[in-house]
A and B are shown apart, each in its own frame.
Chain A
C-alpha cells in the first residue's frame, strides 16, 4: 500500500471514530427560528400522544414540513393522516438502526433545521407556515444538486426514510397500480408439517 493511501485510511478512520458525518455543518442551533413560526403544526403535533421511540418534538415538526415536500402530490400538505403514518414509520425504522447511525440522523435533522433557519433569515420565505411547497422543494433541489457530498447524502438519507415510509403502506398502492401481495390463508397444519 502506498504511503498516500495509508494517510487516507487513517484520515477516514479518524472521521468515523469521531462519528460526526454531519457534525461539522450542523451547528447546534438551539430553538430554531423557523420552529417558532410553526404555531399551527405545533398544536397538532403536541396533542399527538403516540409513544415515539426516537423522534423528539422538534424533529417531528421538521419532518411534518418536509414530508409533503418530498411526496407532493402523492401526499397533500394538509393530509394529516398520511403524514402521521409516515412519521410513525420513520420513527420505527430509525429505532432499528445501529446506535451510530441514529447519532448521525440526529445530526442530519439538526443540520436540516439549521439550514432551513438560514433560508428563513435570508428571506426565501417570510413565515414558515406560509412556506409553499414550491419553496420547500426549491430547498430540496439545492441539497440534491449541491457540490457538497454531505448535503447530497442528507438529501438521499431523508429521501430513503420519508419516501420508503410512504410506499410501504397499502394507502399508497392504488395510485401506482400495485395490487398488493397475494392473499392466502394456509391451514395451521401446513406450518406444523415444516
Chain B
C-alpha cells in the first residue's frame, strides 16, 4: 500500500484539506467508490473513523482484534441491549473482518424492491454485469476446499432431512484455510477493501485520513461544501481540540447503515419526511450450539462454506431465514454461553466439540417488520432502537427448532439454543418440546447481527426515500450515499457483494457524469 498517502488525523499539520470528492467511510461502499473515482482522475480524500491496521498487525488474537477492528469492541448493542451487533471499524470497514461470504442480491429481493419501492433501474439485468465485475475484481468464487466440520454439519443435517443446501462463494486469493477471517486476515488472502480497492486508489493518488470521525457535512443553501472531522485517539474517543475542515464540492457518504444516518442527523440536513435513520435492518440472528461426538474445532478452516436457503422464502408471509455456520473462537464463544460458574465451565470444557449454527432472519419484507431507528445520544453518537415483535419471535422460534432438528440429524449429542433459560437437550423430541415452551422475549432469547442495512432508503418516491435510485440525496446538491444504508429492506443474504455491485454501478455512473472542478 502507498503508505505515504495515508495519515493519522491526529498527525495532520493542516487545519483544512480540499479534494474533488470526499468519501466518508472506507468499507464496502467507500472502498469501491474510492477506486472508481481515483481511476477516473478525481482528487479523492477517503476518511475512516477507525485505525489503519494491516496483515502485519493481525495476530489472530480476539483480545486485540475486537477493540482494534470492531465498533465498540465487538460489543455494539441496540438501545435496549437485546441485540449484539458485530460491525467493523478500521480501514476497510467490515470487509476487513467479515467471514468472506459472498452472495449476489437474491432476485426475490430486487423484485420486492421494484414492486414495493418503485426501484426500476437497479434490477437483476442492470446489476448482473456489476456482480460479474466485482466477482472478478475480488476473486469471488465457490469455495473449492472441503468444508470444515463446523460447516459440514449443516450439509450433513440438511442432506439427512432432504433440505436444500449449497457451497458458499468467498472473496479470497491464496487462502490457507486458517479460520481467522474475523480477526483480520494475517496473510492478505482475503480480498477485502483493505487489500484491493484502497491500495489501488492510493496508488492512483487518493489520500486516506484514518482515525478521523466526520462530525458533520457542511452545506450552503442547498449545496454541500465539504465536511468537518475530529481526530480519534487510540481508544477510539474523539479528541475535541483537533478539528479539521474539508472542502469538497462532492461528498459520498459510505459510513454504513448506522454511521451514515448518524452523520446526516448530526449535520441537521433537511429531512422533510423524517425518514433519515428509519427502517434500519439487521438480519436479526439466533444461534444454536450443538455438542458433536467428534471434535469440530470450529475455530479452524474457512468460517463459512455451506449454507441452506431451504427456509429463506417460505410460502406463507412469515419471516424467512438463512442457515449458516458461525466460527467459534474462545472469547466470543464464552460470552454467548450465558450461564455462569460450573455450568458455564462444563460447556467451555467441551469447546472443541461445539458446533455453531446460526439463522439470519430476513427483516423488512412485511409491514409487520419495520426495522429499527438510528438516533443520536447526548454525545452525538449513534444508537439504534430496534424493537423485536411477535412477528419476529415466531420465526426466531421456528429457526431455533429448525437448527436443533438439523443438528440432531447430523449426529449431535446435545443441542443448546442460545437462551437465558435453555439447557443442553439430549434428543430432538426433548429439544422440540423445550424450545416450543421457551419464552421468546428480548434479553431472554439471545439475538445477534453481523449485517447492518437500510436507514437511508433509496426509492422513486421522495416522500418515502432518502436517496433516489442513483444514490443522490434528495434534499442537497452534491451529496450521494453509496453503502448498505440505501437498501430499502434487508438483503436476505450476507450483504457485502450486494454493496460492492450496487456501489460500483452507481459510482461509475456518477464519476462518468461529474466534472472535475
* Chain A residues within CB distance 8 Å of chain B: 9, 12-13, 16-17, 19, 21, 53, 69-74, 89, 92-93, 95-101, 133, 137, 140, 144-145, 149, 152-153, 156-157, 159-160, 163-164, 166-169, 172-173, 175-178, 181-182, 186, 190-191, 194
Complex Cα–Cα for A46 and B381 (A) = 35
B474 proximity list for chain A (CB < 8 A): none
Say yes or no for B385: interface residue by CB 8 A criterion. Answer: yes
| Contacts A13-B385, A156-B443, A173-B330 known; 8 new A-B pairs at CB < 8 A | A12-B385, A17-B377, A71-B345, A93-B75, A100-B379, A176-B348, A178-B351, A194-B55
Contact B340 A137 (CB under 8 A): yes
Jot down 29 A-B pairs with beta carbons below 8 A, ordered by A. A16-B385, A17-B378, A19-B377, A70-B340, A71-B345, A74-B344, A74-B345, A89-B63, A93-B75, A96-B236, A97-B72, A98-B72, A100-B377, A100-B381, A149-B442, A153-B80, A157-B81, A163-B344, A164-B332, A167-B335, A167-B348, A168-B62, A168-B63, A168-B330, A172-B330, A178-B351, A190-B187, A194-B54, A194-B55
B379 proximity list for chain A (CB < 8 A): 98-100
Contact A72 B75 (CB under 8 A): no
B331 proximity list for chain A (CB < 8 A): 164, 167-168
B72 proximity list for chain A (CB < 8 A): 96-98, 101
Say yes or no for B424: interface residue by CB 8 A criterion. Answer: no
Size class of the B contact interface (CB-based, 8 Å): 35 or more
A190 proximity list for chain B (CB < 8 A): 187
State the 10 A-B residue pairs at the shortest beta-carbon distance, nearest first.
Answer: A181-B60, A168-B63, A167-B334, A168-B331, A176-B351, A100-B377, A167-B330, A164-B335, A177-B352, A70-B340
B333 CB, nearest partner CB in chain A, Å: 7
Contact B381 A97 (CB under 8 A): no
Say yes or no for B163: interface residue by CB 8 A criterion. Answer: no
Complex Cα–Cα for A148 and B342 (A) = 25
B334 nearest in chain A by CB position: A167
Say yes or no for B137: interface residue by CB 8 A criterion. Answer: no
Residue in A13, A156, A157 whose Cβ sees the most chain B Cβ within 10 Å: A156
A163 proximity list for chain B (CB < 8 A): 334-335, 340, 344
Contact A191 B443 (CB under 8 A): no
Main secondary structure of the interface of A (DSSP, over half): helix
A186 CB, nearest partner CB in chain B, Å: 7
The 0/1 profile, CB within 8 Å of A marked 1, for residues 162-192 of chain B is: 0000000000000000101000001110000
A70 CB, nearest partner CB in chain B, Å: 5
A191 proximity list for chain B (CB < 8 A): 54-56
Say yes or no for B79: interface residue by CB 8 A criterion. Answer: yes
A184 nearest in chain B by CB position: B186
Complex Cα–Cα for A127 and B345 (A) = 28
Contact B63 A16 (CB under 8 A): no
A16 proximity list for chain B (CB < 8 A): 79, 375, 377, 383, 385
B405 CB, nearest partner CB in chain A, Å: 27
Residue in B1, B60, B373, B378 whose Cβ sees the most chain A Cβ within 10 Å: B378
A99 nearest in chain B by CB position: B379
The 0/1 profile, CB within 8 Å of A marked 1, for residues 54-86 of chain B is: 111001111100010000110100011100000
Contact A99 B237 (CB under 8 A): yes
B255 CB, nearest partner CB in chain A, Å: 15
A140 proximity list for chain B (CB < 8 A): 340-341
A74 proximity list for chain B (CB < 8 A): 344-345, 348
A1 CB, nearest partner CB in chain B, Å: 8
Contact B349 A175 (CB under 8 A): yes
A133 proximity list for chain B (CB < 8 A): 341
Contact B381 A13 (CB under 8 A): no
